[in-house]
Chains A and B, each alone.
Chain A
């Protein structure tokens, strides 16, 4: 009944108010109309239909989806590839988000001084972020090549022979994480800087007067007051990392002579698996149905992880001027 409560309240309001107020409501709905149509046609509708697809088998050739009950969902626990895919994605998320969150914080702290030239440095660090993942992937796949790539060549000068990381099952995903971090740093720096600039300078002075060391000032002033920013970046970078696709396809498909997701499936991500199951005709489990199941699995995982982060944040995130609550 609670679901209908706002609706009933709406009808009630409609009957109560004067005509001028009603005209304003109509105007408001006219302004909202495009977005509301979109909400139903492109988001809520497809959400429901996609849930329905998870109970069907369909290859797009048959005229309509065929109901198969829970068979797609039952297939998930026994699907070895989905185990591997989840492992790969988690492995990527751990490397990419931790290095992103830490390195961009370090650089932002370094750039957060009223000094000439810091704007230029900020702009330089921002460059990769506005570049296409396709372009970035192409460049880095060539960076890792053992014949002339700067990375293997640099280590060769130090007397260390490194293999092409992208061709090594144990390191390929870490290589992808390095590239993803490299690309995203500028964004992290920009957001952290905005947070850092909101920290009143007096707090540092007060901490110094109280005898806090440099590390303590960083730990108890900077990190505490930055915690809402850290939460925002943690949540958004996890969500983005869960959806890794473009970069992996370019880094591991084509240039290095293997199918995307290689070597040995070690870089196949959830979204890449979804793509293969839905749109590639080989090795399908049940076409669209299984693709939709993977999509829902992804959404549920993102939901659980995000909620856990917010829950954890309740006890750790500190908002300035929030004492009353």
Chain B
């Protein structure tokens, strides 16, 4: 067998090498699962890759004891990730569509303005927005992590613009001739056929919010507002930590995201490579 670069490999060697690399790469994953299934007595056994005996107590009673409000944190996380995704998709698809479809005064200015702000790290705008949200009484509410996304994001708008540019406009022209308004045309014709863009960007953003930590520790300091990352992190003790429960928590918070990606895999790969190629 030949790699396009000209390297010749036998098939056995190729798969052997890949398997070896994948196994080495996934050592930490195996380690998490293994640790989460061990009894407390075996937690520090370096030789127990396959736990003996296997126990699920860290997932059940263990986590319940360590994090009694786990359901609450899960709800908080879902609410933030879900609503902010909704807002982002709404505001950015509309703006991206306008930028891609219509010529209007100052269009280039807005487009290049948005493009330029993509390079500004969020940490520069963080402090004034923090002061603003504090004034609005939004500290220790999920609002700072949700509301801004209803008002767009340069990257997502740019992403949608690129997507709609590559999208034939004949369908919409027909609808417009029928007398449908722009918003109705957008909703009933454009959105349904743009599913890959919405799914890719939605999943990307949802995962980012689900996994997020920096903004939550700034805005959500009260325990009842915590998200999952904060909750699991809180299990770390200064001298001693319940590693069984921590690893069980890591598994539990990762599994939903993995399932989500498996469900939308084909859209997603289109979606993230899009930026790299056309960007």
A residues lining the B interface (CB < 8 Å): 6-7, 9-11, 13-14, 24-25, 27-29, 31-32, 34-39, 41-47, 49-50, 53, 60, 107, 109-113, 115, 117-118, 121, 123-128, 130-136, 138-140, 142-143, 147-150, 153, 182, 185, 187, 190-191, 193-196, 198-199, 201, 204, 208, 212-214, 217-218, 221-222, 229, 232-233, 239, 242-243, 245-246, 249-250, 254-255, 257, 271, 274-275, 278-279, 288, 291-292, 295-296, 298-299, 302-303, 306
Contacts and interface: CB of A to CB of B under 8 A. Distances in A.
A139 B6 contact: no
Given A148-B46, A295-B127, A132 B210 contact: yes
Nearest to A249: B213
A31 B5 contact: no
Contacts of A143: 28, 31
Given A31-B94, A134-B229, A191-B276, A217 B27 contact: no
Given A35-B151, A147-B44, A302-B121, A213 B6 contact: yes
Interface string B114-152: 100101110111111111101000000000000010111
Contact of B6 (A113, A217, A257): A217
Contact of A299 (B14, B27, B105, B120): B120
A9 B104 CA distance: 11
A299 B121 contact: yes
B95 A35 contact: yes
B207 interface: yes
Nearest to A44: B117
B125 A43 contact: yes
Contact of A288 (B29, B106, B114, B131): B131
Contacts of B257: 130-131
Contacts of B213: 132-134, 245-246, 249-250
Given A39-B152, A41-B151, A150 B32 contact: no
Q: Is the interface of B mostly helix, strand, loop or mixed?
A: helix
Given A28-B107, A50-B124, A132-B212, 9 more contacts: A34-B151, A37-B151, A38-B91, A125-B25, A132-B254, A134-B213, A204-B5, A274-B123, A295-B127
A320 B272 CA distance: 21
Contacts of A32: 94-95, 98-99, 110
* Most chain A C-beta atoms within 10 Å of own C-beta, residue among B21, B99, B128: B128
B25 A49 contact: no
B184 to A, nearest CB: 12
* Most chain B C-beta atoms within 10 Å of own C-beta, residue among A128, A135, A295: A135
Contacts of A14: 105
Contacts of A199: 4
5 contacts: A39-B154, A42-B148, A190-B272, A246-B213, A292-B124
A31 B95 contact: yes
A39 B113 contact: yes
* Most chain B C-beta atoms within 10 Å of own C-beta, residue among A13, A37, A110, A303: A110
A254 B35 CA distance: 19
